[in-house]
Amino acid sequence: MAQTVNVNFKLDPEVKRGMEQACADMGLSMSAAFTIFAKKVSRERRIPFEVSADPFYPESNMAHLRRGIAALNAGKGAALRFSNSSWVRLGHSRFTSEKPNNSAPQRNSSA
């Protein structure tokens, strides 16, 4: 049996739980998964997958989503639908205290 060494590093608890579950689903231990990763990096001299920023999750988008959620939780907002390449207000909804906008197209009740 080959001699082994311990490697310690820190992970966010949620990342660790997700990793443990994914490994369990594949029948691997986390140690085995990291060993596979380390051997591939060592052999290929590169990270074996593309590392990039997800364009949806920059801080500016996340801040916008948090503001939107806070507004909805405060009872502000409106029901919208996407029509002809733009968002159209559906009128009065439980999310807003505004009066219905009768000039906006209404949802077809037969659809």
Tens digit of each residue's pLDDT (9 = 90 or more) over 7-57: 998 999 999 999 999 999 999 999 999 999 999 999 999 999 887 777 777
Q: List, for residues 45-57, the tens digit of each pLDDT value.
A: 999 988 777 777 7
Nearest partner of 92 among 109, 80, 82, 74, judged by Cα: 80
**pTM of the shown model:** 0.46
